[in-house]
């Protein structure tokens, strides 16, 4: 195994238009959308791709994920070129990457004790996915996901991990303070994985959801009985209210001095 090198540091800033939601009158049901512009130094920012697998047991979910992967790859490539650390997190697929330097980079990052998680409000999600959230037929002959979708390139200085502690270790090793998360599924893994929005927000990491590169598991035959896209949007707005802001992927492709 060759020496595991860390990405070269590049100077520059991402200028992000962060969409969030505020409650002008506490205790009411009124929420207003706000957009705040912030600059994130590329040297302190990572993009994490959550569970963008090569297949899925739900055929519709697999098809939508493929579209997202094709759209995400050039965005990720441009951010990488500008100095943003890229972390690929296809859960349950680490055996596929076990001999790669990208996997070893995560394993070899010096362990760092995580902060005690903060107790934050965690209201119930606005959509019902108790049936698994599939809105189509099952994928024929599905036997499980095995790797990240091949449409997303993994490059030299990237990392591969499905473990929150490993992700945190690398972040501390190279000075990452901001974690930009894209992938699936918005109401499940993107919120709930050990490396994802809830866990990282609770330990003080600044998380941002890429709202046009995510998708929910939601069946319109369940509450609140809206289209699949509207169900995903409701989850995005829930995250903006209670967990972190969101951004459009186009903001990640430009860097400023």
What is the chain's pLDDT, residue by residue, as a tens digit (257 residues)?
556 889 888 999 999 999 999 999 988 889 999 999 999 999 999 999 999 999 999 999 999 999 999 999 999 999 999 999 999 999 999 999 999 999 999 999 999 999 999 999 999 999 999 999 999 999 999 999 999 999 999 999 999 999 999 999 999 999 999 999 999 999 999 999 999 999 999 999 999 999 999 999 999 999 999 999 999 999 999 999 999 999 999 999 999 98
Q: Look at residue 31 and tell me if it is in a domain.
A: no
Cβ neighbour number for residue 7 with a 10 Å cutoff: 19
Integer Cα distance of 191 and 235 in angstroms:
10
Q: Look at residue 118 and tell me if it is in a domain.
A: no
DSSP per-residue codes, 185-240: -TTTHHHHSTTSHHHHHHTT-EEEEEEEEEE----TTSTT---HHHHHHHHHHHHH
Q: Which residues does 211 contact at the CB level (< 8 Å), separation at least 6? A: 19, 236, 246, 247, 248
Integer Cα distance of 40 and 42 in angstroms:
6
Q: Look at residue 77 and tell me if it is in a domain.
A: yes
Domain of 52 in residue numbering reads as 42-110+146-253
Q: Look at residue 76 and tell me if it is in a domain.
A: yes
Angle subtended at Cα 170 by Cα 217 and Cα 193, rounded to the nearest 5 degrees? 20
Contact of 117 with 17, CB cutoff 8 Å = no
- pTM for the complete prediction? 0.97
Q: Look at residue 130 and tell me if it is in a domain.
A: no
Collapsed DSSP state (helix, strand, coil) of residue 168: helix
Q: Look at residue 242 and tell me if it is in a domain.
A: yes
CATH of the domain at 179: 3.40.50.850
Q: Look at residue 223 and tell me if it is in a domain.
A: yes
pLDDT of residue 5: 87
Domain count, the chain: 1
pLDDT of residue 2: 55
Q: Look at residue 127 and tell me if it is in a domain.
A: no
Cβ neighbour number for residue 167 with a 10 Å cutoff: 27
């Amino acid at each position: 195994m060759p020496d595991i090198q860390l990405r070269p540091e590049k100077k520059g800033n991402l200028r992000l238009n962060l969409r969030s939601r505020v409650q002008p009158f506490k205790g009411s049901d009124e929420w207003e959308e706000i957009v705040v512009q912030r600059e994130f130094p590329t040297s302190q920012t990572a993009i994490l791709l959550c569970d963008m697998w090569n297949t899925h047991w739900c055929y519709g979910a697999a098809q939508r994920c493929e579209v997202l992967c094709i759209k995400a790859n050039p965005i990720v490539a441009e951010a990488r070129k500008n100095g943003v650390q890229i972390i690929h997190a296809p859960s349950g697929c680490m055996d596929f990457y076990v001999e790669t330097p990208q996997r070893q980079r995560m394993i070899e990052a010096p362990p760092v004790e995580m902060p005690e998680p903060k107790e934050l409000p965690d209201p119930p999600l606005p959509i019902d996915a108790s049936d698994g959230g599939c809105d189509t037929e099952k994928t024929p002959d599905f036997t499980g996901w095995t790797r990240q979708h091949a449409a997303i390139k993994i490059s030299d200085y990237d990392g591969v991990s499905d473990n929150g502690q490993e992700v945190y270790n690398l972040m501390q090793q190279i000075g990452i303070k901001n974690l930009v998360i894209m992938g699936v599924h918005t109401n499940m893994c993107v919120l709930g994985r050990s490396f994802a929005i809830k866990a990282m927000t609770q330990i003080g990491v600044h998380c941002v959801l890429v709202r046009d590169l995510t998708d929910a598991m939601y069946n319109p035959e369940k509450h609140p009985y809206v289209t699949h896209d509207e169900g995903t949007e409701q989850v995005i707005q829930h995250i903006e209210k209670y967990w972190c802001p969101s951004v459009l992927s186009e903001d990640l492709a430009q860097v400023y001095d």
